[in-house]
Amino acid sequence: MAIKQVLKMGDPVLLAVAKPVDRLDTPELHALIQDMHDTMESLNGAGLAAPQIGVGLQVVIFGFEKNQRYPDAGEVPFTVLINPQLTFLSEEKEDDWEGCLSVPGLRGMVPRYAQLRYQGVDQYGTVIDRNVNGFHARVVQHECDHLQGILYPMRIRDFRLFGFTDVLFPGQTVIDD
Ligand code: NI
């Protein structure tokens, strides 16, 4: 168990495309997921992708019961998703605020597909195949973007809706991502 340093925007490692995991249920994979879990929990994050701690593999984790950073979001089950594949189920997109542990202190308005199917496996090889919408779909797209070297500011369409969390949302309890 270890809390790792989260790489911040500007680090070229965050722009690399991650490789698929070819061996599941190994000690190395379990250790990686434990580190990711510990790191995400220590920062009160909603999700984390392996490249954010410097590991270029297609592994993301996400989920929360009630997240202080996203007080209006519904619950998302804690999920380990490896080698994900996304299928968008409609052309419809929704705008909402996003933050990222690699872009601390900022929020931006990001369009995301409203409905999608995601498939993959967990660390034991159990198949994951879900149709989701809303914030769950948003989190999956955000985390899987990290595996393609894409950070949410690269998805922003209107940069008037991008700024510091404490300025955008004055008076709210601000957690430094
Ligand atoms: Ni992120």
CA separation for the pair 6, 18 (Å, rounded): 16
Q: Which residues of 61-84 are buried (b: 16+ CB within 10 A; e: fewer)?
A: bbbbeebebbeebeebeebbbbbb
User: Of the residues 28, 65, 92, 143, which is catalytic?
Assistant: 143
CA separation for the pair 141, 155 (Å, rounded): 11
User: What's residue 67's pLDDT?
Assistant: 53
Task: Answer yes or no: is pLDDT of 106 > 70.
Answer: yes
CA proximity to 8, closest of 101, 99, 97 = 101
Ligand 1 midpoint to CA 22 (Å): 24
Ligand 1 midpoint to CA 147 (Å): 10
pTM: 0.93
Task: Answer yes or no: is pLDDT of 176 > 50.
Answer: no
User: What's residue 73's pLDDT?
Assistant: 65
Least trusted range by pLDDT, from 13-22, 70-79, 119-128, 130-139: 70-79
User: What's residue 119's pLDDT?
Assistant: 98
41 is an active site residue: no
**Terminal-residue alpha carbon distance, the chain:** 21
Task: Answer yes or no: is pLDDT of 68 > 90.
Answer: no
- 3-state per-residue secondary structure call for 9-23: CCCHHHHCCCECCCC
Task: Answer yes or no: is pLDDT of 149 > 90.
Answer: yes
- Residue 123 near residue 25 (C-beta atoms within 8 A): yes
CA separation for the pair 77, 123 (Å, rounded): 16
- Beta-carbon contacts of 37 under 8 Å, excluding residues fewer than 6 positions away, are 61
Ligand 1 midpoint to CA 139 (Å): 9
User: Residue 37 has which token pair?
Assistant: 């879990």
